[in-house]
Amino acid sequence: MTPETIPLWLPIAYTLFLLVLVPVYWKHYGPGNFLWFSDVALFSVGIVLWTENHLLLSMMAVGVLGLELVWNVDYFGRLLTGRELLGLSDYMFHPDKSLFLRGLSLFHVFLPAIVIWLLIEWGYDTRAIWYQTALAWIVLPLSYFLTDPKENVNWVFGPGNEPQQAIPSGLYFALAMLFFPLCIFLPSHFILQWLFN
């Protein structure tokens, strides 16, 4: 890798974007919103752009790239068809939210593009699944204990937008702690290893 892998304008522009997003999100969504895995990835990729940390990039790839791509399918599918597909990007179509606020959430479009580009440049660090699992096991309890169940950050209270009522919330949370590493990170790990190594 050469020092020119990341042009200087990109981390500068990315950082300026974060300087706008953070106070706006804090005001409208509260600090707990930054625990979403996608927001963790947003900040982490900002660090990657300045430090060229390959492991951190791979952690974000194994942790959120698949989910980000699904979000894009959901969002652009609804833009093209007018029909709700999965509901992941449903908030992007709420008229009660300003276009500016919704526009900031378009980071879900450029974030995976940056991650894929850098994976092509650098490859995938296979240690990432272990580090990402450790990170998730920090973020998920913080999401469970510090956020409002109605916000359902990282789906720690139920699948989708609403808390579930079928089983005790503690049991559901324990299952969520296993779900992400086994059902999201592990398949992503094998796919990334196959594609980028």
**What is the maximum alpha-carbon separation in the chain?**
53
- Residue pLDDT, tens place only, 3-33: 468 999 999 999 999 999 999 999 999 999 9
- pLDDT at residue 75, rounded to an integer: 95
The yes-or-no verdict on residue 144 having pLDDT over 90 is yes
- Residue pLDDT, tens place only, 21-71: 999 999 999 999 999 999 999 999 999 999 999 999 999 999 999 999 999
The yes-or-no verdict on residue 162 having pLDDT over 90 is no
DSSP 63-113: IIIHHHHHHHHHHHHHHHHSS-SSSTTGGGG-TTS-HHHHHHTTHHHHHHH
- Residue pLDDT, tens place only, 75-104: 999 999 988 888 888 899 988 889 999 999
Alpha-carbon distance of 160 to 130, in angstroms, equals 26
